[in-house]
Amino acid sequence: MSTDARIRNYSREQYSLIAVLLLLFCGIIVFAWKLPFDARLFPMVIGATGILLVGLITYQELRRLRGHTDAVSADDPAANSTWPRFTAALLSAPVFGLVFWLFGFFVASLAAMLVMPPLMGYSDRRRLLTVGIATVAFLAVFFPYLVGVNLPHGIVGDWLIDTLRPD
């Protein structure tokens, strides 16, 4: 990726983040509006302070952009990584969360252990299978018996258990 493109992407992300923060602080004020005075006083102060700070940050960033100060380093790992790796990094947690919610611990954990490493470029399949199954088996014993937390079956798993249970 060229330096210009890298700076453009970085700036776009920076301004998106500023917009998100501004939206959040505005939301704090808007949704506090109808509360009783004492309950809205502190949120109003915090929201207004936040908006002021975001304004100052925007000014600071604009000045930096105009001054062409290096915003992103040439060895920025995000800009230099391959797209499968970058996608794996950003999507692994949300996808794991979704599968965990739908299908429970076993399916989500096995999927994470067996799918994530190849996406990151890991190629030793035999070791991957061994480590993956051993890890999931160990955690399946560790969490319920040693930490005292039962493994969730997920909504699909719970539905299947309810459906297949003999009356």
Percent helix, strand and coil across the chain, each to the nearest 5 = 80, 0, 20
Give 28 or 160: the residue with its C-beta nearer to other proteins.
Answer: 28
Q: How many of the chain's residues bind other proteins (CB under 8 A)?
A: 64
Instruction: State the DSSP code for 166.
Output: -
Q: Looking at 21, 107, 156, 160, which residue binds other proteins (CB under 8 A)?
A: 21
* Nearest-angstrom CA–CA distance, 140 and 151: 7
- Quote the least distance from Cβ 96 to other proteins, whole Å: 6
Q: How far is CA 98 from the centre of its chain?
A: 12
Residue 133's alpha-carbon distances to 8, 117, 127, in angstroms, are 43, 14, 10
How many residues are there in the chain? 167
Q: Can you give the binding site for other proteins, defined by CB under 8 A?
A: 10, 13-14, 17, 20-21, 24-25, 28, 31-32, 35-36, 38-39, 42-43, 46-47, 49-50, 53-54, 56-57, 60, 77-78, 81, 85-86, 88-90, 92-94, 96-97, 100-101, 105, 108-109, 112-113, 116-117, 120-122, 127-128, 131-132, 135-136, 139, 143, 147-150, 152
